[in-house]
Amino acid sequence: MSVRKATIASILGATLALAQCPQVHIFGARETTAPPGYGSSSTVVNDLLAFYPGSTSESINYPACGGQSTCGDVSYANSVIAGVQAVASQVNTFNQQCPNTVLVLVGYSQGGQIFDDAYCGGGDTNEGLSSTAIPISSAALSKIAAAIFMGDPRHIPGLTYNVGTCQASGFAPRPTGFQCPYAANIQSYCDSSDPYCCNGNNAATHQGYGAEYGAQASQFVEAKVNAMLSGTSTSNSGTTTTSSVSKTTTSTGPTTTAPPTGGTAPRWAQCGGIGYNGPTVCASPWTCTYSNAYYSQCL
């Protein structure tokens, strides 16, 4: 009887979690040295939250550092590697809990780089990321409607999703001939005077993409999301796929965690969230930090 009750409780818990899922969820990743949160990706993130009532969002929890003391002296390379791992963990975890929710990625500068690496794969030898595999699960990939990269250092000329005046490469460029398998879902914004995603010398350009291209980026995302919400979307191969999305309500309640299963979670690892069954205590000196109802992380 106890096994039967436990099974019923598990089913009811899963049903409740699905009932709390939004139709649209947006991931935002900040630029180098921006404080925890969305950084300059907030322009597009906030536009989309306003456009889709009931939608939710979360920021990627990663160092966003380039060796500065203000962000823990983490090197740029190690920050990118940690960021790619955080993207995969947070996106996969959310998709497991809300498999019907449409997902959007919005990254600015280093935030664009980590989304680029995680969504398109191919590795990042500039930063020591040797694996060429896409770390986001196939299930989550099928629900990502759009990705926005602003000032992405991985920029190279000639990609079909490039927007802006840059015809050169950023400081951490993709190899010549690279093609992202999800190119049709991406827009990458970079202008020629930008010294980070291009070879310019005006740092102010790098911080101006929200004002210059924010509305355009939001419109691109909305078209992609609406296509997926309507039940049809077009893949890069030109085939039409269908998706089932039901109207849901969101929950702003506290994170629900299972009892600790023993051991501690390392820095950057997940430590809590609805449906999570792993360690809920972080290794010293890190603290389990709430991100949303489905994800807490050791920071």
**Catalytically active residues, by annotation:** 109, 194, 206
27's CB contacts (< 8 A; 6+ apart) are: 57, 58, 59, 60, 87, 90, 91, 103, 104, 105, 106, 115
d(CA 113, CA 180): 13
d(CA 257, CA 180): 36
**Peptide linkage before 175 cis (omega within 30 of 0):** no
First to last CA, the chain: 41
Does residue 162 contact residue 240 with C-beta atoms inside 8 Å?
no
Cα–Cα distance, 180 to 192 (Å, whole number): 22
| Segments in the chain forming alpha helices (H) | 2-19, 42-51, 76-97, 110-120, 138-141, 203-206, 209-229
Give residue 156's identity as a one-letter amino acid code.
Answer: I
Residues with Cβ within 8 Å of 21's Cβ and at least 6 positions away in sequence, in order, are 97, 98, 100, 101, 248, 250
Under 8 Å CB-to-CB from 34, ≥6 apart: which residues?
40, 64, 108
Phi, psi (rounded to 5 degrees) for 241: -115, 155
Radius of gyration of the chain (CA): 19
Q: Sign of the C-alpha dihedral, residues 13, 99, 42, 87?
A: positive
Dihedral pair phi/psi, residue 186, rounded to 5° = -115, 145
As a whole number of angstroms, the distance between CA 182 and CA 159 comes to: 12
